[in-house]
Structure 1
Amino acid sequence: MNPDPRVTELDSPSNEIVQNSDDQEPELDPLLVWAPSGRRLISGLLGLNVVLLGAALVAGEAFNPAGLKHHEPQVFMLLLLGVSLVWLLWYLLWARRQPDICPHKDHHAGGITVTVVLMLFAAFSLLLYICRIGYLISMRDCKPALFLFTTEYELIFPLQTYLLWAHSKDCIHRHKIITRSGLMLILSADLLLWLNAVTEDTIHAEIELEKEDSLIPRLLPGAANSTLCQCSASAACLTFRKAIEVLYPFNMEYYLMAGCMIYVMWKNVGRRVSPDHHHVAQKLTLHIVYEGGVIFGLVFGGLVLAAGVTVFILYQVWVGQKQLRLTAFLIFYGYHLGVMPVMSLCCLAGMLVHRLERRANEGGHNPTRSLDVLLLVAAALGQLALSYFSLVAALAVGTEGPLGSLDLSYSLLSLLELILQNIFIIEGLHRKKVTAPIQEERNTDISLLEGSTPTAAQEHDGKKPWTKQALKEICAFLILSNIMLWVIPAFGVHPQFENGLGKQFFGFSAWFVLVNLGQPLSVFYRMHSVGALMELLITA
């Protein structure tokens, strides 16, 4: 028996049918007669092969760029982006206008929070592409023209933002094989563009070579000739390059978030939702927090924000000055070593409150909820990996100096805080929600991937129990703290790359890839945690 009678999946081979209007014998979809059976088999295999081939090409360019003489990775990406854009235009201009193509909507997908953040990241990505075009034009004597052509294609690709904004809730019931294949191609393109951004170290290598001229032959053999065409002599080129350095984390976050939403659309192809599954959206406002009486969490969280903004500004100003560079690292590490233990204690307190409430776990299967939890755990792997690698580097290089000791302490506290926060959030997400009376039932768009959750029931005596109030205070503090821990790395503060310990032990190229892989995932984790904590705050 389906645990939720309102929702049924039509993705199994036996359910890939088309019902006639008279509710008589179901007739098979003609396309399926010529297609292999299985849930999403064709599109899944297509996406797997595209991603593996693209990853091999990207890895080849990263580790042996001279071996790919015909710019095979760029050509492959051009073809993939071209085919993806063709499907995108086909769906937006023709397919979506067909009658009954989307008879159902998944109101758990595409919440207002994730949509607004996605559009913000898309705007930053467009600005990045414009700056990259300016940079490539300034460096046209040294950069292949194909790079400029690929960037222009990427400039068009955020057209998928409109698809996700307008159609992320669609449960498409026609042209299923073509639709799933098209969505899987877009998902593959997002993943490969993200992977390419992770491994692309040309600009950062150029900056490193300018900082350490004496290390050019050792860091990057054969790069001596490339320094002749660096953009340090042009103010416009330097401006474009600095803008790329600041904006590229947002571009990585855009690909990750867009890929997640495309995946939800792909899962929803053929899904059926009962008409009585209505949805009433209510925007999350400060009025909800005000009604909840949250005071201490907002006050202490506000202090964390104010201190974080100060640390962020001072770090950005001082880290580029040789005499103040050590001070910049000290204030960065000091801030985090002060905030993360408090966050860990809050998570422990929240876990204790969960035990005292003894609320039952939520039953049934919710694909969007499962993806939320999976993304929370997977994104945490970025910071966890960085912490472990930094820990090894600090132990190997030595902790006699202040930076080694601080980096080791920071790595250990990061591990503790991430593990405890994940346990607290996941336990809260899986607790059974208390539904309100029908006349007062309201849904709130708060989760990063899930657009709605029921609000808690009103207390009959008009008083809120202390456990509910404690959870609200804890969630409010953790939300503001995670926002600040998101802002600091998102806007270019990367002490793990700049303090030199990891580069000294692992080498420039390997450490750059590790940091570029871990930092965007860490930023995505903080942002995703904010969405999940908002949900816990409202449903406490």
Structure 2
Amino acid sequence: GLHIATYFETITTETCESEIFILVYVMHLLFTFVQTFFIFKNHKLVINKQKPFVRFGMMHLMATNICVLIVTAVMETNEDYRLQSYIVNNVTLEGTKSCYEEVTLARSASPYLFPCTIIYSIIGAGIIYRLYQYIGVRIKQRWPSHTSFTSSAPTGASAIDCDKANKGLFLGLLVAVFTLIAIATFFVFESRLQDMFTAVKVLFTTEIVLMIITGLGIAWGYIRLSKLKFITSQFLSVDSVLLLVALAGSYIYLCFKLIAVSTSLQGNVAGILSLITTIFSICQITEQTVFILDGLCRCAENDNQMMQKPGRAVVTFLLVCNLALWVVSMFEVKKTRVVRLHEEFYGILAWNIITHLCVPLIIFFRFHSAICLSKMWYNAYQKEKTT
């Protein structure tokens, strides 16, 4: 939508893109709307007619989401590379000077919003694949319990009970308030005081504190949830696979950062904070992934565990903390543009490719972790369903 608005915003000057891209953006907007409507309308539908054609359509739709993901990453990488090359060299190709000198709404919001397109494509592909799995499958009682992508509760499901979650929710809200204050401080230093280095230091410090808190919470949560029954048949669900995909992208990005920072560290505070944040991130996402994969396979073994709900407060706390980390991770591109150790080490083009492919997966990891924790929050305290 912002790209469409940019066309009218720069209508009196030369633009960096052909006018045909307006049609592309309009079609992309329509595709997103229609697909979202289709998913919300049909996410519980089991199709038993014309199954070969439906399977072909689902596979085509899933491939379309993957193509949108790739095209978005390539286009954003190209745009950022051309813009940064112009800034560094202070030269442009003929006919592009005016568009790169103008500050447009889409260009200002791009570091925060382009990952959303990629995340939407990943989630869309995951939901379509799940629909594909259940083509022709007869459900006797109700839709399967994998409802992390859709918030609609099945018919006959018990009401959500917030028992044993109050302490975790209260502590989580304190963490959320701390995060919001830190983000507000970031914008004060960035916009009003024009001090980007201090602004980025605030983000690094916030991220380190959040990861230390969540790391301790995960350790305590694992001790509490280990009392519950483990179900091996639940280990490789779609949620688990998507979490592992996001983890792989996060590992790749963090390893690239670690190599660059440890090799090019010059003793400045921002560089040291970047190194500490990277090391803590690798440890925290590893610990959290193991905890979530284990927790998704847990359920209550008896009525006493259903009543006591061991570890539910911790799961609630971790859910809110991951939402806070998700918000902080939205500023990852902004941080790398201030701390230029990585860009100087790999080069503008290589680093742009790395960030545009991997940063959305880090953001998705935080977002999907919150989804998986919400699923644990409910399912881990129910008895195992017998077929």
Q: 1:307 aligns with which of 160, 174, 178?
A: 178
Kindly indicate whether residue 369 of structure 2 is the aligned counterpart of residue 529 of structure 1: yes
Q: State whether residues 265 and 341 of structure 2, in contact with CA within 8 Å, keep that contact through their aligned partners in structure 1.
A: no
Deviations 1:50-100 (A, max 9, x none): xxxxxxxxxxxxxxxxxxxxxxxxxxxxxxxxxxxxxxxxxxxxxxxxxxx
- Alignment map for 1:108-507 (pairs within 5 Å): 127-128=1-2, 130-131=4-5, 133-134=7-8, 142-158=16-32, 159-200=34-75, 201-205=77-81, 207-209=83-85, 212=87, 214-216=88-90, 223-230=92-99, 232-233=101-102, 238-275=104-141, 279-280=154-155, 288-289=161-162, 291-292=163-164, 294-295=166-167, 297-319=168-190, 324-355=195-226, 357=227, 359-364=228-233, 370-434=237-301, 458-459=306-307, 464=308, 468-469=309-310, 471-490=311-330, 494-507=334-347
- The residue type equivalent to 1:304 in the other structure is V
Three-state SS of the structure 2 residue aligned to 1:230 is: helix
Q: Give the superposition deviation at 1:497.
A: 3.8
CA distance in 2, matches of 1:174, 1:415: 47
Q: State whether residues 203 and 241 of structure 1, in contact with CA within 8 Å, keep that contact through their aligned partners in structure 2.
A: no
Three-state SS of the structure 1 residue aligned to 2:237 is: helix
- The residue type equivalent to 2:229 in the other structure is A
1:390–1:284: structure 2 CA closer, same or farther, 3 Å change rule? farther
Q: Give the superposition deviation at 1:246.
A: 3.7
Q: State whether residues 128 and 247 of structure 1, in contact with CA within 8 Å, keep that contact through their aligned partners in structure 2.
A: no
Q: Give the superposition deviation at 1:163.
A: 1.0
Give unmatched runs, 5+ long, in structure 2: 145-153, 382-387
Task: Look up the match of 1:35.
Answer: none
Judge which range, 275-284 or 186-195, deviates more.
275-284
Q: Give the superposition deviation at 1:382.
A: 2.5
When the two structures are superposed, what TM-score results if normalisation uses the length of structure 1? 0.62
Deviations 1:271-322 (A, max 9, x none): 222257794366986xx32x32521x22322222111112222223423678
Q: State whether residues 390 and 496 of structure 1, in contact with CA within 8 Å, keep that contact through their aligned partners in structure 2.
A: no
Judge which range, 253-262 or 198-207, deviates more.
198-207
CA distance in 2, matches of 1:202, 1:385: 21
CA distance in 2, matches of 1:344, 1:491: 21
The count of corresponding residues between Structure 1 and Structure 2 is 369
Q: State whether residues 203 and 328 of structure 2, in contact with CA within 8 Å, keep that contact through their aligned partners in structure 1.
A: no
1:249–1:131: structure 2 CA closer, same or farther, 3 Å change rule? farther
- The residue type equivalent to 1:526 in the other structure is R
Q: State whether residues 58 and 128 of structure 2, in contact with CA within 8 Å, keep that contact through their aligned partners in structure 1.
A: yes
Q: Give the superposition deviation at 1:458.
A: 4.7
Q: Give the superposition deviation at 1:260.
A: 1.0
Give unmatched runs, 5+ long, in structure 1: 1-126, 218-222, 437-455
CA distance in 2, matches of 1:266, 1:349: 38
Q: State whether residues 131 and 244 of structure 1, in contact with CA within 8 Å, keep that contact through their aligned partners in structure 2.
A: no
CA distance in 1, matches of 2:258, 2:50: 51
Q: Give the superposition deviation at 1:182.
A: 1.2
Identity %: 21
Q: Give the superposition deviation at 1:250.
A: 1.9
Q: State whether residues 234 and 297 of structure 2, in contact with CA within 8 Å, keep that contact through their aligned partners in structure 1.
A: no
Whichever of the two has the greater Rg, that structure is: 1
CA distance in 1, matches of 2:2, 2:16: 20
Task: Look up the match of 1:518.
Answer: 358
When the two structures are superposed, what TM-score results if normalisation uses the length of structure 2? 0.85
CA distance in 2, matches of 1:248, 1:329: 20
1:472–1:499: structure 2 CA closer, same or farther, 3 Å change rule? same
- The one of the two structures with greater contact order (alpha-carbon pairs below 8 A, sep at least 6) is 2
Q: Give the superposition deviation at 1:365.
A: 6.0
Deviations 1:195-228 (A, max 9, x none): 1111223443455356x3x5246xxxxx343542
CA distance in 2, matches of 1:375, 1:150: 28
1:167–1:143: structure 2 CA closer, same or farther, 3 Å change rule? same
Q: Give the superposition deviation at 1:506.
A: 0.7
1:274–1:178: structure 2 CA closer, same or farther, 3 Å change rule? same
1:353–1:293: structure 2 CA closer, same or farther, 3 Å change rule? closer
Q: State whether residues 316 and 493 of structure 1, in contact with CA within 8 Å, keep that contact through their aligned partners in structure 2.
A: no
1:293–1:243: structure 2 CA closer, same or farther, 3 Å change rule? closer
Q: Give the superposition deviation at 1:392.
A: 0.4
Q: Give the superposition deviation at 1:396.
A: 1.5
Q: State whether residues 490 and 523 of structure 1, in contact with CA within 8 Å, keep that contact through their aligned partners in structure 2.
A: yes
Q: State whether residues 383 and 414 of structure 1, in contact with CA within 8 Å, keep that contact through their aligned partners in structure 2.
A: no
Q: State whether residues 131 and 243 of structure 1, in contact with CA within 8 Å, keep that contact through their aligned partners in structure 2.
A: no
Judge which range, 487-496 or 517-526, deviates more.
487-496
- The residue type equivalent to 1:327 in the other structure is T
Q: Give the superposition deviation at 1:435.
A: 7.6
Q: State whether residues 253 and 355 of structure 2, in contact with CA within 8 Å, keep that contact through their aligned partners in structure 1.
A: yes
CA distance in 2, matches of 1:421, 1:361: 17
